[in-house]
Chains A and B, each alone.
Chain A
Amino acid sequence: MTFDLSIITANAGAIWNAFLVTIYTWLAGSVLGLMAGLLIAALMLFGGRPLQLLLRVFIELVRGTPFLVILFLVYYGGPSFGLRLGAMTAGVLCIAFYSSVYFAEIFRSGFAAVPRGQLEAGECLGLGRLQLLWRVQLPQMLVLILPAIFNMLTILCKETAVLSIITVPELTAVLTGIGTRTFTFIETLLVLCIAYLLLIEITSRAGRWLEHRVGIYLQR
């Protein structure tokens, strides 16, 4: 058993590219998921009863399914419907799809937490439905749901490791690939763990900082 980090420096370029792929799939998937989640939450709030029920069932079904299975359904099952996606596209879309229902739940609870009196006051001042949403509800609930959003972001960052199973060339895939080729599991797995720990720590620190920044007005 030897420990030799030269295998990491020799493959630094490939590892850096894999790191960028991890960041890209994570952030692109999350941003799409946030937008889809906001849309679902808004539809549940303003859509009629049947739509609400339908979305509820959709949310429960997606939440009951492992991310890996969703990935398999889209990537391997998609071609049955003519849905042929590259591994990377499928990965980003799956992260967006999977996270959208969790984000929707977070947004929904955020909307519910803004006091009703404010909506009534806004209505009295002649604000339209959309203006109310954009000017009154959204800014306040964003402050309230920030911790939950960042928690979800760290979870998604870890889910990107699963994309290695459908051959997306991200960190886990590339580093374990190097490990099996050169039989240097200790070094590659160590770097892999450190990379994820760093990403998660930076994200949660950024979350706490932002929480503090936007939360200042609440303390006044």
Chain B
Amino acid sequence: MFDWPTFLFSLPLLGKALLITLQTSLLGNAFGFVIAILISSMQLAKMPLLRRLGGSYIFIFRGVPLLVQLLVIYYLAPMFGLPNLSPMVAAVMALSLCSGAYIAEILRGGLMAIPSGQSEAAHLLGMSRPAILLRIELPQAVQSTLPSLVNELVLLIKASALVSVVGLADLTRVAQNLASSDYLFFQHYLVLAGIYCLINIPLTMFGRRLERHLERSLA
């Protein structure tokens, strides 16, 4: 049933593809985090226009499937003067734009939970608004939302399987190629699922431990 020689032969290829998957998801997560800081602070801004803009961003990027966002970037980028967008760049762009919206929602919750007295005090000490956000509010927001952020990373790693569609040689794409070369579809896809689980399950458990730790430290 399970063809061991094929499996052993495929391991180095899958290992290389795993690096691509991790690279895209981690880069997507990192850029997404930066976007999220911007969007969540826009949503909490006083100017109605900024709030509206931040809200629209989240509405659009959470309402459109990631696959469609990928297709939009992949097909439309050349029309807007960005020819030859490499699959890697297109993939990271789509992942960060999308995860930015989700992380912004998480961060907003964390930022709103911080007592306003803190930013008032920092303001009186002469700190500028960006400095207050980056050095006082954000560290606390990240700490209190860390379990959700880890959960978001797991979702992003799973979502990164879709980048195989734009031709990036990630885990899913390589497994697809292997399967179509020797017709051992079930075996290759089972191994593929196993690899994703090997990354995601420990991460999920880590997130849960963080959550328990956080609950205890708050109690």
Contact = CB atoms under 8 A, between A and B. Distances in A.
Contacts, number: 115
Interface string A48-83: 000000000000110111111110110011111100
B186 A201 contact: no
A179 B75 contact: yes
Contacts of B44: none
A193 to B, nearest CB: 5
Interface string A147-187: 00000000000111110110000001000100100000110
- Residue among A67, A193, A197 with max Cβ neighbours from chain B (10 Å): A193
A81 B197 CA distance: 23
- Residue among B62, B71, B204 with max Cβ neighbours from chain A (10 Å): B71
Contacts of A63: 200, 204
Interface in B141-196: 154, 158-162, 164-165, 172, 175-176, 179, 185-187, 189-190, 192-193, 196
A192 B187 CA distance: 35
B186 A185 contact: no
B67 A164 contact: yes
Contacts of A81: 186
- Residue among B65, B72, B172, B187 with max Cβ neighbours from chain A (10 Å): B65
A66 B79 contact: no
A210 to B, nearest CB: 19
Interface of A: 1, 60-61, 63-70, 72-73, 76-81, 158-162, 164-165, 172, 176, 179, 185-186, 189, 192-193, 196-197, 200-201
Interface of B: 59-60, 62-68, 71-72, 75-76, 79, 154, 158-162, 164-165, 172, 175-176, 179, 185-187, 189-190, 192-193, 196-197, 199-201, 204
